[in-house]
Structure 1
Amino acid sequence: MEIRRAQFMGSWYPASENECREKIEDFIADLPQVKPEVKRIGGIVPHAGWVYSGKIAAQVIAALKKNNPPDVIAVFGMHLGPRHPNFIMASGAWETPFGPLAIAEDVAGQLAKGFRFEIESPDRHVQDNTIELQLPFIKYFFPDVRIVPIGVPPVSRSLAIGEAFVDIARHFGYTAKVIGSTDLTHYGANYGFSPVGSGPKAIQWVKNENDKKLVERIEAMDPQGVIDQAMENSNACCGGAAAAAMAAAKSLGAEKSQILAYSTSCDVVPNESFVGYVGAIF
Structure 2
Amino acid sequence: MMVREPVVAGSFYPADEHDCRGSLDRCFDGVSAAVVDGRIVGGVLPHAGWMCSGRIVARVFATIAAQRSPRTVVLLGAVHRVKGWEGAIFANGRWDTPLGSIDIDQRLADRILSHTNAIVDDPYAHEPEHSIEVEVPFVQRTWPEAKLLPIMVPPSERAAEIGDAVGRTLASYGYDAVVLASSDLTHYGERYRFTPEGRDERGLDWAKSVNDRRVIDLMLAMDAKQIVPETTARRNACGGGAIAATIAACSAMGADRAVLVEHATSRETMGMMREMNAVGYAGLVFAASAALKVNE
The TM-score normalised by the length of structure 1 is 0.91
Change in Cα spacing, 1:171 to 1:185, as seen in structure 2 (3 Å) is same
| SS of residue paired to 2:51 | helix
Aligned counterpart, 2:47: 47
Superposition pairs of residues 132-147 of structure 1, within 5 angstroms: 132-147=133-148
The runs of 5 or more residues in structure 2 that have no matched partner are 287-296
Residue identity matched to 2:282 = V
| SS of residue paired to 2:73 | strand
Say if 2:48 is the partner of 1:66: no
Say if 2:210 is the partner of 1:209: yes
Q: Could you tell me how far 1:234 is from its partner in structure 2? A: 0.8
Change in Cα spacing, 1:83 to 1:6, as seen in structure 2 (3 Å) is closer
Aligned counterpart, 2:284: 280
CA distance, structure 2, for counterparts of residue 117 and residue 235 of structure 1: 25
Give aligned pairs, total.
281
Segment of structure 1 superposing worse, 49-58 or 7-16: 7-16
Superposition pairs of residues 1-282 of structure 1, within 5 angstroms: 1-79=1-79, 84-113=85-114, 114-121=116-123, 125-267=126-268, 268=270, 269=272, 270-282=274-286
| SS of residue paired to 1:184 | coil
Change in Cα spacing, 1:2 to 1:152, as seen in structure 2 (3 Å) is closer
CA distance, structure 1, for counterparts of residue 244 and residue 38 of structure 2: 18
Q: Is the 8 A contact 2:31 2:55 kept in 1?
A: no
Change in Cα spacing, 1:117 to 1:166, as seen in structure 2 (3 Å) is closer
Residue identity matched to 2:102 = L
**RMSD, matched Cα:** 2.1
- Residues 141-184 of structure 1: per-residue CA shift (max 9 Å, x gap): 11111111111122342212222223323454421111001011
| SS of residue paired to 1:95 | strand
- Residues 15-74 of structure 1: per-residue CA shift (max 9 Å, x gap): 233322222222222333423414322110000111111111121122211223212121
CA distance, structure 1, for counterparts of residue 36 and residue 266 of structure 2: 30
Q: Could you tell me how far 1:75 is from its partner in structure 2? A: 0.5
Q: Percent identity?
A: 32
The runs of 5 or more residues in structure 1 that have no matched partner are none
Residue identity matched to 1:221 = M
| SS of residue paired to 1:166 | helix
Q: Is the 8 A contact 1:188 1:272 kept in 2?
A: yes
Residue identity matched to 1:140 = R
The TM-score normalised by the length of structure 2 is 0.87
